[in-house]
Amino acid sequence: MSKTLKILSRPKGNAEEYGRWSVNPYIGCSHLCSYCYLKKGPSGAYLGQDKPVLKKGVVNEEHAYHLAMAEIIANREEIIRDGGLFMTFTSDPMTDVCRALFLKIAIGSIQYKIPVVVLTKATQFWNSDEYFNLCAISKFGFQSKRYVSFGWTLTGHDELEQNAPSNEDRLRDMEIVRDEGFKTWASIEPVIDFPSSLDMIYQALNAGCQHFKIGLLTNNTRMVRKDFQIGGYQFKAYDVIDCMHFIEDVMRMTYGKATVYWKQSVRDLLGKELEWHIDIDEHSVDKDWSIFKEE
């Protein structure tokens, strides 16, 4: 008996901190980031391809759309309960190759009141027909912007993200999409160094960012504890004291402006005796918190 082809997945581990349901019709990404997790491990040659392609068994984008929507509708109640649908863990959903399909799936999902969470490094997608179609739904009485959030990965290190738009361009687009009325957030992961990440948070707040997920660089799900090189960059192991100062600075900077989720990698570095620094902050949220919780 042949294995049933699935577009929807239930991620585990570090990925689950972004979403408990994800839709993954493509594999591979053209950004060529030095730290890309898709290129790691025994499946790296398949998942870490240098350009996005439809996964094996998917005939074309229309086939992918119908497969995805059938699975999404079948699991609608659980997806809503678990905070929405994440796009995607195996590519970047807003690149030129992927954007049309993912935005079509987003439009299909939100019509069932299923929240959609996008994370990207891409820019200029707001200037596309597909994005216009997403916005146009609101003009016909359906509040699409209540059900979609757009997030950008921000590291402050363009040199490690060879083919991706600059961090500056991503911040510009965050402000544009925020002004359009969508929820916006940022993934500050991986933290390459604390000063760069702090600068990205400061600039993202100025661009209207409402929420941050902050995590350290990991290797096979474990936080990196030794010096090493990535993309010619000499990466320094994380220092506990420096991380504590970083957390305190972020707490002060985001107070009254945005919520923060500190990923498990940060907590692993600090240890249980230091977790209270995170837990006492009223703007720090747990992994079950959703940007859609007030809707």
225-256: pLDDT as tens digits: 677 777 677 778 888 889 999 999 999 999 99
Look at the chain and report how many structural domains it folds into. 2
Residues 145 and 279 in one domain: no
Residues 108 and 191 in one domain: no
Residues 1 and 128 in one domain: yes
Q: Which stretches in the chain have pLDDT values below 70?
A: 1-4, 41-46, 138-144, 219-225, 231, 273-274, 276-277, 279-281, 294-295
* Predicted pLDDT of residue 272: 72
* Predicted pLDDT of residue 138: 63
* Predicted pLDDT of residue 74: 96
Reported as a single tens digit per residue, the pLDDT across 146-181 is 899 999 999 999 999 999 999 999 999 999 999 988
Q: How far is CA 260 from the centre of its chain?
A: 14
Residue 158 falls inside a structural domain: no
Residues 57 and 123 in one domain: yes
Residue 165 falls inside a structural domain: no
Domain region containing 218: 185-287
Residues 60 and 141 in one domain: yes
Residues 7 and 145 in one domain: yes
Residue 161 falls inside a structural domain: no
Residue 169 falls inside a structural domain: no
pTM of the model: 0.92
Domain boundary among 106, 137, 153: 153
Residues 137 and 87 in one domain: yes
Residue 141 falls inside a structural domain: yes
Q: 118 near 55, Cβ under 8 Å?
A: no
Separation between Cα atoms, residue 117 and residue 105, nearest integer Å: 12
* Predicted pLDDT of residue 235: 79
Residues 134 and 221 in one domain: no
Residues 15 and 131 in one domain: yes
* Predicted pLDDT of residue 262: 93
Separation between Cα atoms, residue 187 and residue 289, nearest integer Å: 15
